[in-house]
Amino acid sequence: MELENIDKSIIAKAQQWLGENFDEQTRQQVKQLMDENPEELFESFYTDLEFGTGGLRGIMGVGSNRMNKYTVGMATQGLANYLHLMFPNVSKIKVAIAYDSRNNSKYFAQITAEILSANNCKVFLFEELRPTPELSFAIRHLGCQSGIVITASHNPKEYNGYKVYWDDGGQLVAPHDDNVIVEVRKITAIDMIRFSAKPENIISIGEEVDSAYLAEVKKLSFIPEIIHKHKDISIVYTALHGTGITLVPIALKQYGFENIHLVDEQAIPDGNFPTIKSPNPEEKAALAMAIEKAKLVNAELVLATDPDADRVGVAIKDDLGEYILLNGNQTASLLIYYLINQWKKTGKLLGKEYIVKTIVTSELLAEIANKFGVEYFDVLTGFKYIAEIINRFEGQKTFIGGGEESYGYLVGDFVRDKDAVISCCMIAETAVYAKEQGISLYALLLEIYKEYGMYYESLLSITKKGKSGADEIKQMMNNFRTNPPKAINNSIVIAIMDYKLQRNINTVNGNVANIELPKSDVLQFFTADGSKITIRPSGTEPKIKFYFGIKTHLKDVSEFKQIASVCKQKIDAIIEDLALLQ
């Protein structure tokens, strides 16, 4: 791509960043792009980095479509303006800020704190990197009106992000999500941002909040005596160069686990993630070093948290003693089964308890809840919707736990976001529970399949980068929406759920019902043989995701691998029939 081929309006926007109101380093970087890299100049300026319903996430660098001091500044100024509109009678609005191990996270957190302080807000800034769930906890613990965490979760190293929370400790939901976007869009010039900090408004926090949070985490344990009996259960933990190292080992020790092995090379926070290609615990390669360590120490459980420690990947031994990775649905099913089982055993099921899962998460969670007589709720993808349910029923019903297939889980309600610190502790406790029964976690999972039905799920993510990729993803969704398949893998499509149009269409009799959830660009196809296929663009990455779910029966646990192989072949055939890999 040559500079003369780029739209003149994009060039004009880039030239604005050469003005005196931008710092010297920024001006030099923009000039370098104009002189040497027109293609990157185009990607950096062809649009504005969108402040979505959860905040910002993008590649770091100069430009209106990148994460930098100025795009973060515009988001923060817009948020500050909205907070003052919403809390006119609060003499000093309070905001908590945390950040992860990514490159520039501390810098962006400091910039954010300074702008908020200049807007007469009292800012509680964590002195060092901390997990995202602790930020959620801190908001309510400190009586804040809002919170911000600087993180891009599990995205590649070139990304960073900016997530906004409300006074309930959950991420922004309606009406605040859209209203904040309106205020951010009103910040149309850099000169509208108040960069002049008021240091007296910024308070450093750390150990006191850690102690309060960890005390609540410890209270969740059901079986401390049994953990003490099995305190030597061997656990390998890796923080994948992220924030989990600050609290996960401490929390596990508080629970009573004494045989914890760290992957030392990955215990050092580092935004370049030098030992892994991607810091995503969903990916097998991310756990490779941890599994090698597990083999050396004969570990029964492997735990890996993502950079901001809100999601956790798990590896366990199968019946042959080989380490296998659990997918997010399997871990969620084990957790929900254990939690509800313990609630019943301790006489705490009084008829007002519930769990929450997302629409792309395994229906096995609903099966388990139903058999125990526990209510369950389905919500859109995104943990903010689980937090919204908790907030809605606070004081009326009791939240047991919830989860989503993308490795995020929550137990208890003192945090209002997915929490890998809690999850690591409760997964380890579930392993001890199984051990006390004389079985492994793997065997417990198979027993759950045998009792409640075997659900086999798989995920296909297709990456489409840049503007052309975004356009291609949009076109793919449009094609599936306007020309839906009549059959998939020779099985008739009997229902289509379109969450964007909020319609549940029975394709057999033509009946249409409303979907009582917020609009979202998601499609689900249900076939006559019981398959469920969900399609949605990622809200945080340049990807379109296809979720596949199949239900079958497991009469005997000895048949598991054979039936799983048949299910995999069926999903492969569905992928081929939909021509997803062409």
Q: E strand or H helix at 290, and its extent?
A: helix 288-297
Q: CA 293 to CA 291: how far, in whole Å? A: 5
Q: CA 33 to CA 194: how far, in whole Å? A: 28
Q: CA 211 to CA 218: how far, in whole Å? A: 11
Q: Which residues are catalytic?
A: 153
Q: CA 106 to CA 110: how far, in whole Å? A: 6
- The total number of residues shown for the chain amounts to 582
Q: CA 76 to CA 66: how far, in whole Å? A: 15
Locate the DSSP E strands across 480-542. Answer: 487-488, 491-498, 503-506, 512-514, 523-527, 532-537
Q: CA 97 to CA 136: how far, in whole Å? A: 10
Do the beta carbons of residue 489 and residue 573 sit within 8 Å?
Answer: yes
**Ramachandran region of residue 573, left (φ > 0), alpha (ψ -120 to 50) or beta?**
alpha
40-66 burial, b at 16+ Cβ within 10 Å, e below that, comes to bbbbbbbeebebebbbbbbbbbbbbbb
Do the beta carbons of residue 305 and residue 242 sit within 8 Å?
Answer: yes
Q: CA 263 to CA 236: how far, in whole Å? A: 7
DSSP state of 49: P
Query: Which two tokens mark 31?
Result: 């000039």
